[in-house]
Amino acid sequence: MEDRETEVIVVAPVAEPRPVHDELCLVILAGPSRGKVLPLDRGSLTLGRSSEASVVLDGRGLSRVHARLTLCPDGVEVQDLDSTNGLFVNGQRRTQAVLRPGDQLALGPEVSLQLQRTDPSLRQLLEELYSGSTRDSLTGLANRRQAELRLQEEAAMVRRHGLSVCLALLDLDHFKSVNDTYGHAAGDLVLQETADRLQSAIRQEDVLARYGGEEFLLILRHTALSGASLLMERLLRSISERPFELLDGQQLNLSLSAGLALFAQGDELEQVLQRADQALYKAKQSGRNQFCLG
**Which H or E run contains 253?**
none
Strand 291-293 with 256-263, pairing: parallel
Q: Looking at 214, 215, 233, 270, which residue is catalytic?
A: 214
Listing DSSP states for 102-141 in one string gives T-EEEETTTEEEEEEE--HHHHHHHHHHHHHHHB-TTT-S
Give every CB contact of residue 277 below 8 A, 6+ residues apart in sequence: 169, 259, 294
Measure the CA angle with vertex 203, ends 162 and 226; round to 5°.
55
- HSE-up of 238 (CA within 13 Å, CB side)? 18
Q: Is 214 a catalytic residue?
A: yes
Left (φ > 0), alpha (ψ -120 to 50) or beta: where does 225 sit? alpha
CA atoms of 84 and 195, how far apart (whole Å): 35
User: What strands, in cross-sheet order, belong to the sheet with 75-80?
Assistant: 55-56, 44-48, 67-72, 75-80, 96-99
Residues 6+ apart with CB under 8 A from 199: 141, 208
Check residue 4 and report its DSSP letter: -
Active site (catalytic) residues: 214
